[in-house]
Structure 1
Amino acid sequence: MRILRGALSIAFLVFASFLLSTGCDDGTDEQVDAGCEDAFCIGTLFRTTDSPSSVIKAAELARDDINEAGGNIKLIAGDGATPLASTMELLEMGVKAIIGPGTSQSSVEIFDFLVENGLVAVSPSATSVTLTEKNREISQAGKAHFFFRTVPTDSFQAKILATEVRNGDEVLIVHRNDNYGVKLTELINREFLSRNRPAAKVVWYERYYSDDPMFEEKTQAVLDDIEAVGGIGNIGSIILILSIDEGGKIIKGMIDSTVVSSAARYYISDSFAVENLYERVDPDNPAAVDGFKSTTPCSLPDPPERKDEFEKRFDREMFPSLRFAVHAYDAVVAIALAALSAGSNDPSEYVSEMAGVTGGGNRCLSYAECAAAITDETAANDDIDYEGVSGPIEFDQNGDIGAGCYSVYTYDAVGGRMKQIFEVPSLKEITSSETP
C-alpha cells in the first residue's frame, strides 16, 4: 500500500489531531455524551452474557496498546442481542467503526445498514460465506463494501468437517436455522457430494437462548425431531452446528437417547467449540464427551511466541476461553492503522486503506511499529503489512482474509483436549486425522 505523505505531515504521536479531523460533527447530545468529539470511537457489538467476554477484553487490550502509542481510541459497547438497533444507536453516538457482530446472522442483519451509512465493521467471528457473496455483489456494482472479518470463512471449516468424518459413515447434521447454520450445512453437504459421498441427513431448529422461558420444551422438541429421523440408529457420525446456550443440553439428550447409536461419533463446529465441553454437557462425567471433535479458527503468528505473550495478558480464571480473542485484537488494530493511513477517521475515507495496511508492504507486528512506519517521512518505502497476533490478515476484495488456520480438537475422558492444526489456504491437501 502506498501512503500519501501529504496527508500525514505530522508525527504519529499526535495521532488524534489529524485522525479526528473528520470526527463527530453534527453536535448531537448523544455524541457529546459519548465523548466522540475528542476520540476515535469504535463500537463493540457482541451479545451480553453473564461471564466476561475475552473478545471484548481483547478489543480493550488493542485500544490500550494503540493509545499508549499515541492514539486516542474509545470503545463503546453495543448490544449484540439487538444488532441493527444497537448499530443505529452507536452511529448516532458518533462511532466510526464496529468490532463485531459476533455472529454471522447478526452480520447479515446489519450489512445493508453498513453500506447505506458508510460504516466499517470488522467481525472476529462471523464466518458465513453469505457475507463474502454480499461483499462481492457490492464490489461488482462498483461500490465500496464496509464489512470485513479477521477469521477464515466457513468454506474452509466445511472442508475440515467433511474430511474429519469417517469414510463410509452415514451422517446426520443438526443445525440451528440461521444464516450460519444453513450455509455451513450446505457447504458440508456440497463437500460430501464432491467426494462422491452421500449427503447428510439434516435436522434444524430455530435458535433460542438460555433465558427463554420455554428453554426446556424447545430443547426436547429438538431431541424429538432428531429421534424421528428415519434410520437414526444407523447414523455413524453426527455434525453439530449448535450454540453455547442450548448446545450442551442437546448433546446430553442425544447421548442419553435410546435411539441414537452409542457408537456414533460427534463433530462440533466453531459455534460451540468450548474448551471444557463436558461441563456444559455432563459436569460430573468428563468421559461423556470422550472422542468428540470440534473445529475453531486459531492463530499462527510469526514468531509463535507472540500468541503466548498475548494470552498471558488474560486472567485465565476469569477468561477460560480465548476463542476469537486474537481476531478481535487484530480487528481493532487494522481499523486504527487504516484510519491513520488515510489521515481520517471517516469510514468512507479509510475503508480503502483496510486492505492496504494488512498486505503488500513491509511487515510490521504491532500498532506502534506500523504507525511509526506510516508517519516516518525519512523512510524510502512507506508501505506496511500488519501481521496480526492471529497471523497474516491480507484482506481481499471481498473483505475476507487470505490466510489463517483452523484447529481440530479431540476431547478426552478427563476433560482435556488435543489439538491438530490445518492452515488456510492449503486445505485442499488436508487428510483426515481419523483412522480408517
Structure 2
Amino acid sequence: MGVFTRATASRSRTRTATLSGLAFLGASALVLTGCSSPGGGDGGDNERPEGDLTMKIGTLLPQTGQLAFLGPPEEAGVGLAVKEVNDADLGIEIDVTYGDSGDPDNKAFATTVPKLLGEGVSAIVGAASSGVTKLVIDEVTGAGVIQFSPANTSADFTTWDDNNLFWRTAPSDVLQGEVLGNLIAEDGNETLGIMYLNDSYGTGLTNFTKEAFENAGGEVVEEVSYNAGDTTFDAQISSLKAANPDAIALIAFEETKTIVPGLSGYPAEKMYFVDGNLADYSKDFPAGTLTGAKGTLPGLDTDELGDFTDRLQSFWQDEGNDELTDYSYAAESYDAVVLLALAALQAGSVEGADIAAELQSVSGGGDEKGEKCETFEDCAKLINDGTAIDFDGYSGPVTFDENGDPTEATIGIHQYKEDNTYERIN
C-alpha cells in the first residue's frame, strides 16, 4: 500500500499494471482522436451581457432503486453548491428541480427526464448509474441540454456521440479497474473469481479489473454475471465456490445484500467491492460479516475535504433530512454544479451549448492555463474581472479533456470493520 504512481488512459486502453491508491490520469498521456473539442473557450475574454443570469438545472439522481444509498450524498452536494452559488450573488443564480433517476428496472427516469426538459433546464446533473445514462443520454443531449454526471464511470461515454454535452466529474472505470485488479494481486491472490452485473458498468469494470489482475500475473478462474432485477443468485454463487478462487470481486449494486449471505463460509478478507456496492451494511449483516473485506471508491478521503462534510451535513439537516452516513460522490456532485455555474458565468449565457463550450476552460483543461482557484466565490470574482481560471474542486483538480472526462482523479482503497462499516486505508 501507499505506492504513488501515474496511470495513463488512451483509446487503445494501454495502461500500467501498478497498484495505486492515488492514481492520476495524465492529460499529456491521453490519446484523443475523432472528437471535436467542447472547450474552445476564450478563458474569460467574452463580452458578458449586463444583468445577472438565472440558470435552471435539474437532477436525475437515485431516490429509489439499486443505488438509492447514493441519492442523499449526491443531492446534498448539489443542494449545497446551489446555495453557495446563490449566496455569493456574483452574477448568476441557480434554480434547481430535484428528480428521481430510479434504475433500469423501475424506470423512474422515463418520467423525470421529460419533466425536466419541459421545464427548460440548461443542464441535468446525473445519472448515478451508467446504465440509466445510456437510456437517456441521447434524449437529453439531443435536446441541447448538458448531462453532467457525478458518478458515471463507464468507459463507453468517452467516445459517445453526445454533441459535446456529456460531462462527468467521476473518472472512467479504466482507472478503477486498474487499481482494483492490482490491489487484489498485491494482496497475494493468484486466482480470482468475479461476479458482476450484466450492464455497461459491470461488464466494463470487470474487463478492466481482469486485465489488470492478469497483467500482474494472476488468473481469473471464473466469471459469472446476473441481470438487473434478479433476486436469486444460487447458480452464480455455486459456480464461484466450485472454482475455489483465492479472492472474489463483487461488481454489483444493492444485490450485494443477497449475494454476501450466499457466500457464507468464504473468508471476508478475500472479498473485494467497488463503488457500486461499497456501502454501510451495519444494519444488514451480523457484526463481523465483512471484517477485512476491501473496496475501491473514487474521491478524496473525508479528512482531505476540510470543512466540506460539515457544511454538507449542516445544509442537509437544515433541509429536514436525516444525518448523512455516506459521502460517496457528494464532492463530485458539488463540483458539477459549481463548474456549470462558472462556465455559464464565463459564457455570459445559460444555453446548454454555450455553457459546454466553457467547461473545459474553467476546469483548467484548455489551451490557456488560468489562475488557480478553489471556491465558486473566488473563481467567479476572477471571471468577472476578465481573468482566465483553473478551478480545483473537492473531487480533485478535475481538468477536463476534450471528451468531457476528468484527467486527474483519486481512487481510495477502503476496508470493512467489525461493525460492517468501512474506513479508508489508502
Separation (CA, whole Å) in 1 of partners of 2:269 and 2:355: 50
State the shift of 1:175 in Å: 0.8
State the shift of 1:254 in Å: 1.1
* Cross-structure match for 1:369: 378
* Cross-structure match for 2:298: 297
Residues 337 and 370, structure 1, Cα contact 8 Å, conserved in 2: yes
Does the residue aligned with 1:277 lie in a helix, a strand or coil?
A: coil
Query: Which amino acid in the other structure matches residue 385 of structure 1?
Result: D
Separation (CA, whole Å) in 2 of partners of 1:300 and 1:402: 19
Separation (CA, whole Å) in 1 of partners of 2:81 and 2:242: 51
Match of 1:2 among 30, 34, 42: 42
Residues 117 and 140, structure 2, Cα contact 8 Å, conserved in 1: no
Match of 1:253 among 262, 265, 289: 262
Seen in structure 2, the aligned counterparts of structure 1 residues 4 and 231 have a Cα distance that, compared at 3 Å, is closer
For residues 11-410 of structure 1, the aligned pairs below 5 Å read: 14-16=51-53, 39-49=54-64, 53-70=72-89, 71-81=92-102, 82=107, 83-134=109-160, 138=161, 144-165=163-184, 166-208=187-229, 218-220=230-232, 222-229=233-240, 231-232=242-243, 234-244=244-254, 246-255=255-264, 261-262=266-267, 265-274=270-279, 276-280=280-284, 282=285, 285-299=286-300, 304-313=305-314, 314-315=316-317, 318-359=323-364, 360-376=369-385, 382-410=387-415
Seen in structure 2, the aligned counterparts of structure 1 residues 231 and 415 have a Cα distance that, compared at 3 Å, is closer
Residues 410 and 418, structure 1, Cα contact 8 Å, conserved in 2: yes
Seen in structure 2, the aligned counterparts of structure 1 residues 312 and 278 have a Cα distance that, compared at 3 Å, is closer
State the shift of 1:118 in Å: 1.8
Does the residue aligned with 1:354 lie in a helix, a strand or coil?
A: helix
State the shift of 1:391 in Å: 1.9
Does the residue aligned with 1:131 lie in a helix, a strand or coil?
A: helix
Instruction: Tell me which protein shows more helix as a share of its residues.
Output: 1
Separation (CA, whole Å) in 2 of partners of 1:288 and 1:302: 26
Does the residue aligned with 2:57 lie in a helix, a strand or coil?
A: strand
Residues 219 and 250, structure 1, Cα contact 8 Å, conserved in 2: no
Q: 1:238-281: per-residue Cα shift (whole Å, max 9, x none)?
A: 0001112x21121112125xxxx44771000100111x33433x
State the shift of 1:40 in Å: 1.6
Q: 1:275-311: per-residue Cα shift (whole Å, max 9, x none)?
A: x33433x1xx221111111111122799852545545
Residues 286 and 413, structure 1, Cα contact 8 Å, conserved in 2: yes
Separation (CA, whole Å) in 2 of partners of 1:15 and 1:80: 31
Residues 301 and 390, structure 1, Cα contact 8 Å, conserved in 2: no
Q: 1:33-74: per-residue Cα shift (whole Å, max 9, x none)?
A: xxxxxx421010012238771211211111111111223211
Question: Normalization by structure 1: what TM-score?
Answer: 0.77
Question: Normalization by structure 2: what TM-score?
Answer: 0.79
- The more displaced of 190-199 and 95-104 is 190-199
**Percent identity for Structure 1 against Structure 2:** 26
Q: 1:316-352: per-residue Cα shift (whole Å, max 9, x none)?
A: 9521111100110000110111111111100111211
State the shift of 1:198 in Å: 2.1
Does the residue aligned with 2:342 lie in a helix, a strand or coil?
A: helix
Separation (CA, whole Å) in 1 of partners of 2:353 and 2:124: 14
Residues 294 and 413, structure 2, Cα contact 8 Å, conserved in 1: yes
Separation (CA, whole Å) in 2 of partners of 1:144 and 1:302: 38
Seen in structure 2, the aligned counterparts of structure 1 residues 85 and 200 have a Cα distance that, compared at 3 Å, is farther
Does the residue aligned with 2:360 lie in a helix, a strand or coil?
A: coil
Query: Which amino acid in the other structure matches residue 97 of structure 2?
Result: I
Residues 365 and 386, structure 1, Cα contact 8 Å, conserved in 2: yes
Seen in structure 2, the aligned counterparts of structure 1 residues 79 and 265 have a Cα distance that, compared at 3 Å, is same
Residues 356 and 385, structure 1, Cα contact 8 Å, conserved in 2: yes
Query: Which amino acid in the other structure matches residue 250 of structure 2?
Result: L
Separation (CA, whole Å) in 2 of partners of 1:355 and 1:74: 23
Query: Which stretches in structure 1 are left out of the alignment for 5+ residues?
Result: 17-38, 209-217, 422-436
Larger Rg: 1
Query: Which amino acid in the other structure matches residue 395 of structure 2?
Result: S
Does the residue aligned with 1:188 lie in a helix, a strand or coil?
A: helix
Seen in structure 2, the aligned counterparts of structure 1 residues 109 and 42 have a Cα distance that, compared at 3 Å, is same
Does the residue aligned with 1:173 lie in a helix, a strand or coil?
A: strand
Seen in structure 2, the aligned counterparts of structure 1 residues 159 and 348 have a Cα distance that, compared at 3 Å, is same
Separation (CA, whole Å) in 2 of partners of 1:278 and 1:153: 29
Separation (CA, whole Å) in 1 of partners of 2:72 and 2:248: 29
Aligned pair count reads 365
CA RMSD of aligned residues (A): 2.5
Seen in structure 2, the aligned counterparts of structure 1 residues 108 and 394 have a Cα distance that, compared at 3 Å, is same
State the shift of 1:117 in Å: 2.0
